[in-house]
Chain A
Amino acid sequence: MSIYYFKKGEKMKTIIEVKNLTKKFNNVIAVDNISFNVKEGEMFAFLGPNGAGKTTTIKILTTILSPTEGKLKLGGYDVNTQEKKVRENIGVIFQDYSLDDELTAYENLYYHCVLYSIPEKERKPKIEDMLNRVGLLDRKNEFIGTFSGGMKRRVEIARGLLHSPQILFLDEPTLGLDVQTRSLLWTQIKKLNKEKKVTIFFTTHNLEEAEKIATKIAILDKGKILIQGTAKEIKKTTKTSSLEKAFLKLTGYDIREQQADPTDKFRKRFRK
């Protein structure tokens, strides 16, 4: 946390520092020597076509994958050596669901409280408050398995906000959500960002959303960062009128082969 600079009279620390990050799965390069910084309190959007390496980067930042090369620091802690400290300071909402179907909504959230050592007395009111915010309080004792996709996402949002992390990672949080849930999600996220100064790091395919919400954007393709800056800066550099046009100009019009996630490929080695 050494870099300080002034912007609109406010001191901002660097909270995520990524230097020369590379991740290889066998010989497939998923992330190719990328570097970027995220300042405290920023809403950082990580954009890119399918297979660009977004999810892999998030997995590395959240300590569940180890990088092949590179230095990463979150809130001043080294991701490789101080995993526990890093984990204490982050919250993650994954791209795919990570709830336990055989537990109720309340139990899922309760176990989250245990995992993040939220004091026992605070658990119940906190859980109920969160479930209320996502409109699921009356269904707290129902099994997750009976919930629809959108409802599961709402439970995950509630769970992600239970403990107050310094940095919240969201991997395509709005994928497949209806307008109402999407709006609810961003309202809650913005509130968290404003009130508690939580840094938000998210990926999305919805560029309008990114343009509206992110304070800083990085566009990634084939494992490399093509450009980073504010939406305005990116539009200016690429001489385009919208972020979508800038995105297409940078990444091309080719449709990507819907590749399996590199991890999935890696996993296949172990199958059979």
Chain B
Amino acid sequence: MNSVLIMMWERQVKEYFRNKYRMLATLMLPFLFLIAFGFGISPMFEQTGNGNYIQYLLPGIIGMTILMGSTMNGMSLIWDKKFGFLKETLVAPVSRTSLLFGRCLGGATTSIFQGIIVLILGILLMGFQITDMLLLLIAIPFMFLIALFFNLLGTSFASVFDDMQSFPIIINFLVMPMFFLSGALFPINNFPDIIKFIASINPFTYCVELLRFGFGTVVEFNVIFSFSILISLIVFLGIIGTHLFNKIEP
């Protein structure tokens, strides 16, 4: 296999696990959401007859963990631009596509790790139940693809922007609406039409749907449909991302 791709993957993973504080920080927000929404909304949700809220919520929170962790991985590219490691890789006789995908696959791996930690927390703290172990085998690859997609998104943005201060703000500006208007926290059915429409063009909606399917919760869209959307988006961003990454002039 492509040794440069593996090298970039290894580097991203290594650096993630080396920085314990960053590791904890990435898990903090999902943990808070899980606790706050889990304990806060759960009784109301169940009173309205929508079923067990934790079963509904956890896939959404895992999705959020991946969404935020993955897009934020773009920061590592900005970091590399600023502190020079990017230049070292760009003057080397290697394909930039491998550099980009190695980076994104490494980021995706660390995101899955975060997602799995949140899953374990959900099981241990909130009593989340895995209904079907076989489906879990689908859930993990889904998590990976979602993570890859958002890594590509974050890295594409990072290819264009150079500023360390504004990048997290821009990303939050993008990620927050995606998260709240997706059905990750509440069923979209209850939303007004305009928000329903926004949710239907929000890629994250389909990601959450796929996770719901993987964890055996009720889904609103056809799984094949959601899956095709995710794959098309990965291909689309793969092309855009490669183009933008190729254009970087450090």
Seen from chain A, the residues whose Cβ lies within 8 Å of a Cβ on chain B are 59, 62-66, 84-85, 87-88, 90, 92, 94, 96-103, 107, 111-112, 114-117, 159, 263, 266-267, 270-272
Does B189 reach chain A (CB closer than 8 Å)? no
In the complex, how many angstroms separate the beta carbon of B65 from the nearest chain A beta carbon?
22
Those of B82-125 within 8 Å (CB) of chain A = 83-94
Question: Are A115 and B84 in touch, CB under 8 angstroms?
Answer: no
Does B231 reach chain A (CB closer than 8 Å)? no
Distance, CA A65 to CA B249, complexed state (A): 6
**16 A-B pairs, CB-CB below 8 angstroms?**
A59-B249, A63-B91, A65-B249, A94-B87, A97-B83, A99-B85, A102-B19, A103-B14, A107-B14, A112-B92, A114-B7, A115-B4, A117-B93, A159-B88, A271-B162, A272-B163
Interface 0/1 of B1-38, CB less than 8 Å to A: 00110010001001100110000000000000000000
Does B166 reach chain A (CB closer than 8 Å)? yes
Give the total number of A-B pairs whose CB atoms are below 8 A apart: 80
Residues in A neighbouring B93, C-beta threshold 8 A: 84-85, 87-88, 115-117
Question: Are B87 and A98 in touch, CB under 8 angstroms?
Answer: yes
Residues in B neighbouring A114, C-beta threshold 8 A: 3-4, 7
Seen from chain B, the residues whose Cβ lies within 8 Å of a Cβ on chain A are 3-4, 7, 11, 14-15, 18-19, 80, 83-94, 160-163, 166, 249-250
Question: For B18, B85, B86, B166, which residue has the most chain A Cβ atoms within 10 angstroms?
Answer: B85
Residues in B neighbouring A100, C-beta threshold 8 A: 11, 80, 83, 85, 88
Residues in B neighbouring A62, C-beta threshold 8 A: 91
In the complex, how many angstroms separate the beta carbon of A105 from the nearest chain B beta carbon?
14
Distance, CA A159 to CA B91, complexed state (A): 13
Residues in A neighbouring B87, C-beta threshold 8 A: 64, 92, 94, 98
Residue of A nearest to B10 (CB): A111
Residue of A nearest to B80 (CB): A100
Residues in B neighbouring A117, C-beta threshold 8 A: 3, 93
| Interface majority SS (helix, strand, loop, mixed), chain B | helix
Question: Are B92 and A96 in touch, CB under 8 angstroms?
Answer: no
Distance, CA A90 to CA B87, complexed state (A): 13
Distance, CA A116 to CA B84, complexed state (A): 18
Question: Are B163 and A112 in touch, CB under 8 angstroms?
Answer: no
Contacts A62-B91, A103-B14 known; A115 to B7 CB distance under 8 Å?
yes
Question: Are B88 and A112 in touch, CB under 8 angstroms?
Answer: yes
Residues in A neighbouring B3, C-beta threshold 8 A: 114, 117
Contacts A98-B87, A102-B15, A102-B18 known; A115 to B163 CB distance under 8 Å?
no
Contacts A62-B91, A272-B166 known; A99 to B84 CB distance under 8 Å?
yes
In the complex, how many angstroms separate the beta carbon of A130 from the nearest chain B beta carbon?
15
Residues in A neighbouring B160, C-beta threshold 8 A: 270
Q: Which 4 A/B pairs are nearest by Cβ-Cβ distance?
A: A98-B84, A115-B92, A87-B93, A88-B93
Distance, CA A159 to CA B160, complexed state (A): 29
In the complex, how many angstroms separate the beta carbon of A215 from the nearest chain B beta carbon?
24
Q: With A102-B18, A270-B161, A271-B163 given, name 19 new contacts (CB 8 A).
A: A62-B91, A63-B91, A85-B93, A90-B91, A97-B83, A98-B84, A98-B88, A100-B11, A103-B15, A111-B7, A111-B11, A114-B7, A115-B4, A116-B93, A117-B93, A266-B249, A270-B162, A271-B161, A271-B166
Residues in B neighbouring A115, C-beta threshold 8 A: 4, 7, 88-89, 92-94
Residues in A neighbouring B250, C-beta threshold 8 A: 64, 263
In the complex, how many angstroms separate the beta carbon of B77 from the nearest chain A beta carbon?
13
Distance, CA A270 to CA B78, complexed state (A): 13
Residues in A neighbouring B80, C-beta threshold 8 A: 100
Contacts A102-B15, A102-B19, A111-B7 known; A64 to B84 CB distance under 8 Å?
no
